Amino acid sequence: MPPPADRTAFSLAVTAQAADIDELGHVNNAVYLRWVQDVATAHWRAVARAEDIGRFVWVVTRHEIDYLRATLAGEVLALGTWVGTPKGARFDRHVEISGADGQLKARALTVWALLDKASGRVLRVPPEVAAPFLH
Protein backbone atom coordinates (compact mmCIF):
# COMPACT_ATOMS: atom_id res chain seq x y z
CA MET A 1 0.00 0.00 0.00
CA PRO A 2 1.75 3.19 -1.10
CA PRO A 3 1.32 6.41 0.87
CA PRO A 4 -1.79 8.51 0.22
CA ALA A 5 -1.43 11.28 -2.34
CA ASP A 6 -1.06 13.92 0.39
CA ARG A 7 1.92 12.17 2.07
CA THR A 8 5.55 11.86 1.02
CA ALA A 9 7.31 8.59 1.75
CA PHE A 10 10.75 8.68 3.34
CA SER A 11 13.26 6.01 2.25
CA LEU A 12 16.34 4.43 3.74
CA ALA A 13 18.50 1.70 2.19
CA VAL A 14 19.91 -1.17 4.25
CA THR A 15 21.87 -4.30 3.44
CA ALA A 16 21.09 -7.55 5.25
CA GLN A 17 24.23 -8.54 7.16
CA ALA A 18 25.44 -12.02 8.15
CA ALA A 19 24.58 -11.19 11.79
CA ASP A 20 20.94 -10.60 10.73
CA ILE A 21 20.52 -14.19 9.56
CA ASP A 22 18.89 -16.83 11.76
CA GLU A 23 19.14 -20.63 11.79
CA LEU A 24 16.66 -20.83 8.91
CA GLY A 25 19.09 -18.97 6.65
CA HIS A 26 17.16 -15.74 6.29
CA VAL A 27 16.78 -12.43 8.14
CA ASN A 28 15.36 -12.94 11.62
CA ASN A 29 11.99 -11.37 12.38
CA ALA A 30 13.49 -9.21 15.16
CA VAL A 31 15.78 -7.57 12.58
CA TYR A 32 12.76 -6.39 10.58
CA LEU A 33 11.48 -4.79 13.77
CA ARG A 34 14.82 -3.01 14.22
CA TRP A 35 14.62 -1.75 10.64
CA VAL A 36 11.10 -0.44 11.27
CA GLN A 37 12.45 1.55 14.21
CA ASP A 38 15.54 2.67 12.26
CA VAL A 39 13.56 4.12 9.35
CA ALA A 40 11.05 5.79 11.70
CA THR A 41 13.86 7.42 13.67
CA ALA A 42 15.69 8.50 10.51
CA HIS A 43 12.47 10.02 9.15
CA TRP A 44 11.93 11.99 12.38
CA ARG A 45 15.49 13.30 12.37
CA ALA A 46 15.39 14.21 8.67
CA VAL A 47 12.07 16.05 8.67
CA ALA A 48 11.31 17.38 12.17
CA ARG A 49 12.33 20.86 13.26
CA ALA A 50 15.49 20.97 15.41
CA GLU A 51 13.60 22.40 18.38
CA ASP A 52 11.12 19.51 18.22
CA ILE A 53 13.90 16.92 18.10
CA GLY A 54 15.38 18.53 21.20
CA ARG A 55 12.07 18.68 23.06
CA PHE A 56 10.21 15.48 22.17
CA VAL A 57 10.80 11.75 21.88
CA TRP A 58 8.59 9.06 20.38
CA VAL A 59 7.84 5.70 21.98
CA VAL A 60 6.20 2.70 20.38
CA THR A 61 2.86 1.56 21.75
CA ARG A 62 2.14 -1.10 19.12
CA HIS A 63 3.84 -2.98 16.27
CA GLU A 64 2.01 -5.05 13.68
CA ILE A 65 4.23 -6.73 11.06
CA ASP A 66 3.41 -8.96 8.11
CA TYR A 67 6.36 -11.01 6.87
CA LEU A 68 5.82 -11.67 3.17
CA ARG A 69 9.11 -12.91 1.68
CA ALA A 70 12.46 -14.09 3.03
CA THR A 71 15.48 -11.81 2.90
CA LEU A 72 18.96 -13.30 2.55
CA ALA A 73 22.38 -12.03 3.60
CA GLY A 74 23.73 -9.40 1.24
CA GLU A 75 20.36 -8.31 -0.10
CA VAL A 76 19.87 -4.56 -0.39
CA LEU A 77 16.50 -3.38 0.83
CA ALA A 78 14.52 -0.17 0.58
CA LEU A 79 12.75 0.82 3.79
CA GLY A 80 9.89 3.20 3.02
CA THR A 81 7.79 4.97 5.64
CA TRP A 82 5.05 7.55 5.97
CA VAL A 83 2.68 8.62 8.71
CA GLY A 84 -1.06 8.61 9.12
CA THR A 85 -3.09 11.35 10.75
CA PRO A 86 -2.22 12.14 14.38
CA LYS A 87 -4.82 11.09 16.94
CA GLY A 88 -4.21 12.83 20.26
CA ALA A 89 -0.74 11.75 21.39
CA ARG A 90 -0.49 8.99 18.78
CA PHE A 91 0.68 8.79 15.21
CA ASP A 92 0.27 5.71 13.02
CA ARG A 93 3.36 4.95 10.95
CA HIS A 94 3.42 2.72 7.90
CA VAL A 95 6.58 0.92 6.79
CA GLU A 96 7.22 -1.16 3.69
CA ILE A 97 10.42 -3.16 3.23
CA SER A 98 11.17 -4.08 -0.39
CA GLY A 99 13.94 -5.92 -2.16
CA ALA A 100 16.01 -4.47 -5.00
CA ASP A 101 13.56 -6.14 -7.40
CA GLY A 102 10.72 -4.10 -5.89
CA GLN A 103 9.05 -7.11 -4.29
CA LEU A 104 7.59 -6.42 -0.87
CA LYS A 105 9.37 -8.38 1.89
CA ALA A 106 7.51 -7.03 4.92
CA ARG A 107 4.87 -4.48 5.82
CA ALA A 108 4.34 -2.87 9.22
CA LEU A 109 1.88 -0.60 10.93
CA THR A 110 3.25 0.87 14.13
CA VAL A 111 1.72 3.27 16.61
CA TRP A 112 3.97 5.85 18.25
CA ALA A 113 3.18 8.19 21.14
CA LEU A 114 4.79 11.59 21.67
CA LEU A 115 6.54 12.28 24.97
CA ASP A 116 7.90 15.50 26.35
CA LYS A 117 11.58 14.78 27.12
CA ALA A 118 11.71 17.05 30.16
CA SER A 119 8.65 15.70 31.96
CA GLY A 120 8.44 12.21 30.43
CA ARG A 121 4.72 12.80 29.94
CA VAL A 122 2.66 11.79 26.94
CA LEU A 123 1.13 14.76 25.14
CA ARG A 124 -1.05 15.53 22.16
CA VAL A 125 0.88 15.93 18.92
CA PRO A 126 1.00 19.70 18.35
CA PRO A 127 0.01 20.75 14.80
CA GLU A 128 3.43 22.33 14.23
CA VAL A 129 5.14 19.02 15.11
CA ALA A 130 2.91 17.04 12.75
CA ALA A 131 2.93 19.55 9.87
CA PRO A 132 6.31 18.63 8.29
CA PHE A 133 5.14 14.99 7.98
CA LEU A 134 1.70 15.73 6.51
CA HIS A 135 2.51 16.72 2.96
**Residue 130: its pLDDT value, please?**
94
Q: Which fold, 10-133? A: Thiol Ester Dehydrase; Chain A (3.10.129)
- DSSP lists the bridge partners of residue 64 as 109
pLDDT tens for residues 21-34?
999 999 999 999 99
**Residue 125: its pLDDT value, please?**
96
Q: Which of 31, 42, 22 is nearest to 108 (CA)?
A: 31
Q: pTM here?
A: 0.93
Positions in the chain whose pLDDT score sits under 50: none
**Residue 5: its pLDDT value, please?**
72
**Residue 16: its pLDDT value, please?**
98
**Residue 2: its pLDDT value, please?**
72
**Residue 84: its pLDDT value, please?**
92
Determine contact, residues 13/77, Cβ cutoff 8 Å: yes
CB atoms within 10 A of CB 117: 11
| Ramachandran angles phi, psi of 35, nearest 5° | -65, -35
DSSP for the chain reads -PPPTT---EEEEEE--GGGB-TTSSB-HHHHHHHHHHHHHHHHHHHS-HHHHHHEEEEEEEEEEEE-S---TT-EEEEEEEE---BTTEEEEEEEEEETTS-EEEEEEEEEEEEETTT--B----HHHHGGG--
**Residue 111: its pLDDT value, please?**
97
